[in-house]
Amino acid sequence: MREWISAQWLRNTVLLAFWLGLWGQISVANVVSGVAAIATVRFIAPTEPTTSRIRIHPIGVIALAGRMVWDLVTSSLNVAMLSLVPNGPRRASSLVVEHEMADADPFVVTTMTQMIGVTPGTLVTGIERRGEHAVLEVHGLGIEQGALRAQVTSLEARVRRAFEVTS
């Protein structure tokens, strides 16, 4: 059984990796200054405290990442075609649907929003909380309403297969 990781520490780790990437190399000084910088940033700009714990499923993550790359390519082609074809802009649908999530976990909501941002012709234009659930308002370009709903629903299932979250 894999371990549950605290969302806080996952975030700190990602920030440190980002810091090291900015400097371009790993050294003791870079790690120490990175830890100091992250502590400072977290102190100056504290985020809402979260008690979420995450269990990462590597196969699910790889599937999700592969899907993200594929989505980025196809969504770019899709929007590019709409922009280039003579009648494309006039025929492209532009609509909004709401998607109610299974819960309102910030990590899952953030991941979903990010991935919808790279999926063919979709963009999150609003997030609100309704009781226990987060509701995403998703804008679709050049896609049918039913297809858009199905796409967002299957994306949530894929995200939850990659990241098991508990509060």
Partner 1 sequence: MTLVLQASLVVLLGCAALAGLRVVTGRTLVDRAVAFDLVLALAINGLAIGVLLRPTWRAEDVILVATLLGVVGTLAVAPVRGTERLMIASVWTSVVDGLVIVAAVIGAMFAVSATLGVFRLRDAYGRMHAASKPATLSAVCFLGAAALRADDPAVSTKLIVALVLQLVVGPIGAHLLGIAARQSGVELVSPDQAAPSDAATRASNASTSRGDSTR
Give the pair of three-digit tokens for residue 13. 């780790």
Backbone angles phi, psi at 97, to 5 degrees: -125, 160
Residue 104 half-sphere exposure toward CB, CA atoms < 13 A: 10
Residues 6+ apart with CB under 8 A from 160: 102, 108
- Would residue 137 be called left, alpha or beta, if left means φ above 0 and alpha means ψ between -120 and 50 degrees? beta
Q: Measured from the CB atom, is 4 or 113 closer to partner 1? A: 113
Give the pair of three-digit tokens for residue 115. 């991935």
Q: How far is the CB of 1 from partner 1 (least distance, A)?
A: 30
12, 42, 137, 164: which one contacts partner 1 (CB under 8 A)? 137
96 counts as binding partner 1 under rule CB under 8 A: yes
123 counts as binding partner 1 under rule CB under 8 A: yes
Could you identify the residue written with the tokens 């499923």? 57
CA distance 102 to 166: 12
> Which residues between 7 and 66 bind partner 1 (CB under 8 A)?
18, 21-25
135 counts as binding partner 1 under rule CB under 8 A: no
94 counts as binding partner 1 under rule CB under 8 A: yes
Q: How far is the CB of 111 from partner 1 (least distance, A)?
A: 11
* Chain positions contacting partner 1, by CB under 8 A: 18, 21-25, 72-73, 75-76, 79-80, 82-84, 87-98, 113-114, 116-118, 121, 123-127, 137, 139, 141, 144-145
